Chain A
Amino acid sequence: MDFNYTDEQNALRDTLARFIAKDYGFEQRRALAKSDEGFSRDHWKQFAELGLTALPFPDNLGGLGGNAVDTMLVMEAFGRGLVLEPYLATVVVAGHLVRDAGSDAQKEALLPSIAGGELMMALAHFEPGGRYKVSRVDTAAKPKGDGWTLSGAKGVVLSGGAAGKLLVSARTSHEPRDEDGISLFLVERNAPGLTVRSYMTQDGGRAAEIRLNDVAVAADALVGTQHAALPAIERALDYGIAALCAEAVGIMTALNEATLEYLKTRKQFGQPIGRFQALQHRMVDMVIATEQARSMATLAAVKADAPNAAERRRAISAAKAYVGQQARFVGQQAVQLHGGMGVVDELNVSHYFKRLTMINMTFGDADHHLGLFSDMILAA
């Protein structure tokens, strides 16, 4: 075991911290969230220049060959900045999915473009009525000529509106809840029959409802193994979950700093409210929760790269459940300790809280993943 970051990782952290402090101030971010697209294409170019969009991809495809711990450092910093650009959807989820499941031709076509900042992508997987169950896919892919036609609906596709290309899961055989029979397809954003209804999310981000009405795709649109895409999709989502855990820890750290500062400066009854033991102990509980969450987010990052799927799944669900619980506590208490200031739009606390809450609701909430983890105990 090693609890230190490499020199490169420390340099990356410094770079990210400088970027967030300089270019991602609270007011700038607020304005961006309200803009049409909801993020900045200039920022995205900067990400590409900093190598962030190339981080997890192989060297020979324009990437930097980074691991999930590198991604963790990016997401932790993005948490502090409440970064709006579609990094999670494009680089973390879709990027890892193409990297790990795509054919050589697909990787060569897509990864250098993502790395270079030219292409944004999204995974359209979860569906209305399926809640968090990853194997529940009702969207159908019917063979037509050499290719397929896709029909169905995908719900709350993160950054679906910004994506130039979508990865769409669809059923090529078996019943809606079977683990077998799911395939993955690359679909152009402007494909006939595809409609994308983009909207703002509670945390200032963007997501979309996507409908597929006999969307035709060619034979080379198939990503990974026909009927057996679920393991690759799960793995990509697990990268996403590890990244969300890191983002949550970045937010919790920032919230604790803000709350501690508030306890030291806000005066009532003639003294700083941080003199009151009831509030001191609450603050301590928040710090402990955050350090424990940091441990689990780190575990998630390390195990996201694990070759053994069962080992990876166990750590990822453990982390998503635990970080979700701690994030809920820290978020709610940061609001509480800020009093009225905690519930107003003009202070960053409410924005951090909303993002933490929505992280918990993404890719399975704490209860869902506790259940998965619990069922693994039964199977062990």
Chain B
Amino acid sequence: MDLNYTPEEQAFRAEVRKLVAAILPADISAKVKGGKRLAKDDFVRWQKALHEKGWGATMWPTQFGGTGWSAVQQHIFEEECAEAGAPLQLPFGLKMVAPVIMAFGSKGQQDHFLPRIVDGTDWWCQGYSEPGSGSDLASLKAKAERQGDHYVVNGQKTWNTLGQHADWIFCLVRTSSEGRQQEGISFLLIDMKTPGITVRPIIMNDGEHEINEVWFEDVKVPAQNLVGEENKGWTYAKFLLGHERTGIAGVGRSKAALHHLKDIARTELSYDKPLMEDARFRDRIAQVELELMALEITNMRVLSAEKENKAPGPEASILKIKGSEIQQTIAELQMQALGHYALPWLPEALDADWQGEPVGSAHTAPLSGHYFNYRKTTIYGGSNEIQKNIIAQMILGL
């Protein structure tokens, strides 16, 4: 038991830092650090840059082109990327559909889709939630009817993140209404260009277009795009939900956010002195830093144990709960640090090429919107209450 980084791990960190600095485009990191709006191209360029260095899908098993890094190395990589101001590698392709295709997909699906995920060719989005099926996901109604060599899909998906950019969507669809509702669900891969698909924006509480409704009207999907077996989709869905473990705690990004919070508290003034000198505010920073220090270790403990036992565990729910709470707390303190300057709303200031004069400081504009937006973190990916149900049932046997 040793929580000190070994010399090898320190050397690894230095190598990652050097490489990330070399390949991360400066305009992108400036946007990320300034809280500016990111375009599709920013995400894609970063994914392609990583891929060229062989780090496009570091968390994948080696037989599919992953690095085989330890949990500690993966943590170092995520921490360094976040600190450098790299965009998030979006999870929908890399961490969600890819593991399902690896575990349950056909050889043809693996050969076709996986390389296009890692090289940034295909942008994936998720078709899980429906207006009537949120936490009770298995009640979903979007229907796929088999007609010869294809399925015909009808229905509506919602809370679809960044689907306006997507080339492909992975969907849970109902293929049978017999028996338990979990037993009539299938996992389909659908080309977003297929006729009959309509994407409608849902504007979030920060005024931004991040999520969508996706409508399917007689959408023809080749039967070869079914993953695994028909009516076994719920098994794959659970596998996916439990599998997105690396990075679910978001420790690296929260550490970068905490640094930013401290910078803000050192420059914002309260009664003409740095806000950081106000012990009442500083203690709240200290408190969230304690939570984050603990989570950083818990995260690596859980991931290291899983790597050894190879068993996907419900312990990931602990990481999701604490990770999301910490993200929200930091976002809230960033906003709170602004005082009255939390009030101005200048959406135009989030454009990277905006030349106007900021209201407040250079860091002011995105923070309140970020706070509002981040209320999503305890809701998405299985709400934290659902995560607690999972722990109660799967770990505690209640």
A residues sitting closer than 8 Å to B (CB atoms) are: 1-5, 9, 69, 260, 263-264, 274-275, 277, 280-281, 283-285, 287-288, 291-296, 298-299, 301-303, 318, 321-322, 370-371, 373-374, 377-378
Cβ contact within 8 Å between A377 and B3? no
On whether the beta carbons of A373 and B286 are closer than 8 Å, the reply is: yes
With A292-B294, A302-B1 as contacts: A374 and B392 at CB distance below 8 Å: no
CB<8 Å pairs between A and B, sample of 29? A1-B2, A1-B3, A2-B1, A69-B1, A263-B398, A280-B389, A280-B396, A281-B388, A283-B396, A291-B318, A292-B322, A294-B298, A296-B293, A296-B294, A296-B297, A299-B293, A299-B297, A302-B2, A322-B290, A322-B294, A371-B283, A373-B286, A374-B282, A374-B285, A377-B262, A377-B282, A377-B286, A377-B289, A378-B276
**Which residues of A are found within 8 Å of B2, using beta-carbon distances?**
1-2, 69, 302
CA distance A335 to B293 in the complex (A): 28
Residues of B close to A291: CB separation below 8 A: 298, 318
Kindly report which residue of chain B lies nearest to residue A273, judged by CB atoms.
B398
- Decide: B276 and A321 in contact? CB cutoff 8 A: no
B293 touches A318 (CB 8 A): yes
Q: Please name all residues of chain B whose beta carbon is closer than 8 Å to the beta carbon of A3 when the two chains form the complex.
A: 1, 300-301, 304-305
B interface list, Cβ under 8 A from A: 1-6, 9, 72, 262, 276-277, 279, 282-283, 285-287, 289-291, 293-298, 300-301, 304-305, 318, 321-322, 385, 388-389, 391-392, 395-398
* Given A1-B72, A299-B293, A287 contacting B286 (CB threshold 8 A): no
Minimum C-beta distance from B203 to chain A (A) = 32
The CA-CA distance from A69 to B305 in the complex, in Å, is 19
CA A293 – CA B5 in complex, angstroms? 21
Quick check: B6 and A284 within 8 Å, CB to CB?
A: no
Residues of A within 8 A of B287 (CB): 370
Contact A260 B286 (CB under 8 A): no
Which of A1, A292, A318 touches B9 (beta carbons < 8 Å)?
A1
> Which residues of chain B are near A298, meaning CB under 8 Å?
1, 3, 297
Decide: A370 and B282 in contact? CB cutoff 8 A: no
Q: Are A302 and B294 in contact (CB under 8 A)?
A: no
The 7 A-B pairs with the shortest beta carbon distances in the complex, nearest first, are A295-B297, A374-B286, A280-B392, A292-B294, A322-B290, A284-B388, A274-B398
Closest A-chain residue to B391, C-beta based?
A: A284
Q: Which residues of B contact A374 (CB under 8 A)?
A: 279, 282-283, 285-286
Q: Which residues of B contact A5 (CB under 8 A)?
A: 1
Task: Give the complex CA separation of A294 and B318 in angstroms.
Answer: 14
Q: Tell which of B276, B300, B321 touches A1, judged by Cβ atoms closer than 8 Å.
A: B300
Shortest distance from the beta carbon of A106 to any chain B beta carbon, whole Å: 30
User: A264 — which chain B residues lie within 8 A by C-beta?
Assistant: 397-398
Q: Is the CB of B300 within 8 A of A378?
A: no
What distance in Å separates the Cβ of B168 from its nearest Cβ neighbour in chain A?
36
Contact call B4/A284, Cβ cutoff below 8 A: no
In the complex, the answer to whether A295 meets B396 with C-beta atoms within 8 Å is no
* A9, B3: Cα distance in complex, Å: 16
